[in-house]
Structure 1
């Protein structure tokens, strides 16, 4: 399960649900003796062999977890975008070869997944994922430069972890999601775009070449795409039975405003398009440098404005080459993170 380093809550969950096993890097007290502790996620997956595996941990290490889950589970519910950014086609191809299912959990990719069901890819003119814009979306560029950690972490729509909330403000989250969309769905780079939807009601949109559009909309509540990943193709009742026509939602029935996100105005999106056309060393460098830069910002060692510049520097200075082995990918990823961090600590 996801503990987010919250030891007391995780310990309470173990007592309540009594899972077959757990893996946790840290001390825990009052754990039921019947619940087996494993030294690694991979060894736990090997021993337990769950029907479904939810890959929801943060960071590049989840590539290893997802590849192991493809061997041990019949369905992989993928909520970690970094594993696809690093691995490219590794996870989708492993899942396909083994005859397993790969269901995205992120609301945007869950939306695209559902929109693409029964769709001929040749009919698609453009596929968009949406962005709220994060906590600083209404700020002037000059003011954003020195935004504090506390200001950046006040996301207007979603309650998320610190790292992904910072990524939302830099739009690096959308950059990673563009890369993920390419490899999960086989979409050409030029057909993947980002649009702003400030109330986060629309999650994905497809424009067809004949002028029709399909939009995937829903409340910004992660319980909905998580439930769909577990139950698809079936659907379960929504939390609290919310009905937007009956109950309304955040000015939903005012004109729905979708605005294109200009890659030239948002360096993270420009970087995504750059690395998508290059060997994977650049994608790995982008993700590793971003993980390191965000952590430096959260530790208040660099300014908010420096985060994206650190990533740009790492990508521009990285030689483009292809890394095949998952272990070498993770090793290279950690080396870039160390290199970036050592420049500031």
Structure 2
């Protein structure tokens, strides 16, 4: 039986991971869960899965949680609690599913503890890819992708050499506004942006999908996961989200991974690889679907994807700044403080002001992250 810890258990990836655990109770045991402020859902998860440890954001949240969960479950909070869930328990696999750069340090702690990482927190590699991958190699720890796009590439590469790869192509749904022109984006609301046509995701990721920042983050993540340069990473809009990504080899063979848009499929594969047990997801019926459609990526329509490539090629602290500025801008939009199109303007302005540090250590990354957040909070548009 495989023992799991989940960082971000009350989020979209975390709850769907627990769906897989419930579907395969003979395969998995939950050792530890970490959440932020959703105490009610975490208490429900603790009662159902009986982990040995749970952690929440603050002492007040911990006090609220105690008394609402079974006896014998240790309750912790803050950074100490995250570290305990990530590294200080008997789990062999840590599902890194926290949203944002806050997931970086607990993921590094899990790597240092020798845990296998099922990685859904793309910001960990975006901000500190050179550090994370180097430490994983040194510790012999696998980084198994959970994102549907990276899981697809991981599966398509099975048994192949990365030296034989001509290009990796990440597919993108196009997000909530894929059929709107830029002029039609003026005045769109938060509610409009949260109506993703294909996927069930959290608010932040759904907004990132609408701006294409999410795909930009995935491009940077792919560079580190698969050790390829940006010239070999491409993006294609595929509205149906059936081909999750594909690999083209130098012999011009193309291997793609297909499936219904259900995150439980890549989550389960990350947990059971190389086995493929029965999934709770629906089977794909191509005859019923009828056709698949594709559009080239438009870097003018989606400036965030252009900014991601530019930050990735600049490297150093530029990618951490891209991510941090985007997190703040999205939060400002969700709070209805700024219009939708201001997200990309804030990110671009912050990047233009930044003086990148090459080959940064964690301290320099933290400083760049903090600087970018401060700039993005104050940025006018």
Q: Shorter-chain TM-score category?
A: over 0.9
1:47/1:125 Cα in 2 relative to 1: closer, same or farther (>3 Å)?
A: closer
Normalised by the size of structure 1, how large is the TM-score?
A: 0.93
Match of 1:276 in 2: 312
Aligned length: 339
* Equivalent of residue 294 in structure 1, options 321, 330, 336: 330
Contact 1:64 1:326 survives alignment (8 Å): no
Match of 2:26 in 1: none
Match of 1:169 in 2: 210
1:1-345 equivalence runs, <5 A: 1=6, 2-4=9-11, 5-25=37-57, 26=61, 27-28=64-65, 30-39=68-77, 40-239=81-280, 242-245=282-285, 248=286, 252-254=289-291, 256-322=292-358, 324-343=360-379
Counterpart Cα distance in 1 of 2:199 and 2:331 = 20
Counterpart Cα distance in 1 of 2:297 and 2:137 = 33
Counterpart Cα distance in 2 of 1:42 and 1:299 = 30
User: Structure 1 unaligned runs (5+)?
Assistant: none
Which piece of structure 1 moves more, 316-325 or 177-186? 316-325
Contact 2:248 2:255 survives alignment (8 Å): yes
Counterpart Cα distance in 2 of 1:189 and 1:310 = 24
Secondary structure in 2 aligned to 1:48? coil
User: Structure 2 unaligned runs (5+)?
Assistant: 1-5, 12-36
Cα drift, residue 258 of structure 1: 2.1
Which piece of structure 1 moves more, 215-224 or 1-10? 1-10
After TM superposition, which residue ranges in structure 1, 4 or more long, deviate above 6 angstroms? none
Cα drift, residue 7 of structure 1: 2.1
Question: For residues 195-227 of structure 1, what are the alpha-carbon distances to aligned partners after superposition, in whole Å with 9 as ceiling and x for unaligned?
Answer: 111111111111223332111111111111111
Cα drift, residue 263 of structure 1: 2.5
Counterpart Cα distance in 1 of 2:307 and 2:375 = 20
1:165/1:32 Cα in 2 relative to 1: closer, same or farther (>3 Å)?
A: same
Contact 1:86 1:283 survives alignment (8 Å): yes
Question: For residues 248-304 of structure 1, what are the alpha-carbon distances to aligned partners after superposition, in whole Å with 9 as ceiling and x for unaligned?
Answer: 58x5322x2222213243211111221122132211111010000000000000000
Counterpart Cα distance in 1 of 2:243 and 2:132 = 27
Give the superposed CA RMSD: 1.7
Which piece of structure 1 moves more, 275-284 or 175-184? 275-284
